[in-house]
Amino acid sequence: MILITGAGGNVGREVVKQALTLGLTVRATFQSPGAAAKAPAGLEGVIVDYAKPETIRSALHGVDRIFLVGPASRDLSALEARFIKEVRAAGRKHVVKLSALGGRESIFPSGHRDSEENIEDSGLPYTFLRPNGFMQNLVNYHAGTIRSQNTFYGCQGNGAVSLVDIRDIATVAVIVLAATGHEGKSYTLTGGEALTNGRIAEKISQVAGCKISYVDLPPADFKKAILSAGTPEWSAEAMLDLHRFYRGGKASRVTDDVERLLGRKPITFDQFVRDYAFAFRDEKREAS
Ligand SMILES: NC(=O)c1ccc[n+]([C@@H]2O[C@H](COP(=O)([O-])OP(=O)(O)OC[C@H]3O[C@@H](n4cnc5c(N)ncnc54)[C@H](OP(=O)(O)O)[C@@H]3O)[C@@H](O)[C@H]2O)c1
């Protein structure tokens, strides 16, 4: 039995989908009843809140392997530590943790590194998946202004990033969860090429039906914009720091971990924009 946490989220949802397709026995955890209600039919879903140990204990019953996803928040390592404490008490289970590329070099990955260190110290068998930024961030964070203003914004300058497709992360996760031999390993998951946001804008333009531009803002202006869109202060600061990391070219590294694990090249950004073209097109823009 594999426990897939964060099953209502971007990565967890895709891991569940691919694990079910392969016929694996899966239990999925959702924090919110709203997310659980949208789960695929036939899936065994349970409500787990990492801050409530009693919800974790019953979810672990009969489980051998766990895909651990935590929220990208200030509490990430503390919440995951509470979860790991319960896992330890329940026996020796292999934890596949969704982490992030970057180690101590930026705020978001540093929170993940705290959690990795706690898992290393726990004595549990583990595997760390450290993806670079997701291609799907362009849909989740930028498709709104791409459709309404033909523009997306950031402050990463000309820093190129080897974005990775969530579908590849999920395929790697399912392989690691379904096989042996990955204990104690860390995989850095990137796409096959590093692209600047200028190049990304050109590639989205090819499917959006008009020219899409990337506008690079001064960091203070970018922070003001994301705060006014409702991003909490800590997350806005962490986002700014991530763009600083990107600006310095620190996330442009291309690894071969995805190709080695999947036996094929990673999904390209060109393929990603074709598959998600619907998200970047605007009916009103196309009609005018
Ligand atoms: N975006 C990127 O480019 C990127 C790059 C590298 C690494 N990452 C890391 O990838 C991870 C997942 O990303 P994602 O896009 O899949 O995130 P997401 O869509 O926000 O999913 C996070 C999941 O965590 C669950 N969750 C939140 N708080 C919880 C709690 N207290 N107890 C139990 N479950 C809780 C949520 O459950 P509900 O849906 O039920 O509320 C949700 O399913 C994050 O840790 C992030 O730091 C992201």
Closest ligand 1 atom, residue 75 Cα? 31
Q: Which amino acid is at 227?
A: L
> Quick one: what percent of the chain has pLDDT higher than 90?
93
Average confidence (pLDDT) over 99-125: 98
Return the SS3 of 193.
coil
Q: What is the DSSP letter of 216?
A: E
The residue written with tokens 């999920």 in the block is 170
Q: Report the distance separating Cα 89 and Cα 12, nearest Å.
A: 24
Assess contact for 84 and 118: CB atoms under 8 A: yes
Closest ligand 1 atom, residue 133 Cα? 3
Q: Report the distance separating Cα 218 and Cα 176, nearest Å.
A: 41
Per-residue exposure over 73-85, b if at least 16 CB sit within 10 Å of its own CB, e if not = ebebbbbbbbbbe
Whether the pLDDT of residue 97 is over 80: the answer is: yes
Per-residue exposure over 108-146, b if at least 16 CB sit within 10 Å of its own CB, e if not = bbbbbbebbebbeeeebbbbbbbbbbbbbebbebbbebb
Regarding the beta carbon of 47 and ligand 1, being less than 6 Å apart is answered no
Query: What are the phi and psi torsion angles at 161 (to 5°)?
Result: -130, 135
Average confidence (pLDDT) over 143-172: 98
Closest Cα partner for 252 from 188, 163, 161? Answer: 161
Q: How confident is the model at residue 42 (pLDDT cuts 50, 70, 90)?
A: confident
Whether the pLDDT of residue 121 is over 80: the answer is: yes
Q: How confident is the model at residue 49 (pLDDT cuts 50, 70, 90)?
A: very high
| pLDDT of res. 86 | 98
| pLDDT of res. 40 | 86
Q: Report the distance separating Cα 142 and Cα 146, nearest Å.
A: 6
Regarding the beta carbon of 162 and ligand 1, being less than 6 Å apart is answered no
Average confidence (pLDDT) over 58-63: 96
| pLDDT of res. 38 | 86
Q: Report the distance separating Cα 109 and Cα 22, nearest Å.
A: 31
| pLDDT of res. 12 | 98
Whether the pLDDT of residue 286 is over 80: the answer is: no
Regarding the beta carbon of 3 and ligand 1, being less than 6 Å apart is answered no
Q: What is the pTM of this model?
A: 0.97
Assess contact for 246 and 238: CB atoms under 8 A: no
Distance 174 CA to ligand 1 centre (A): 17
HSE (CB half, 13 Å, CA atoms) of 158?
0
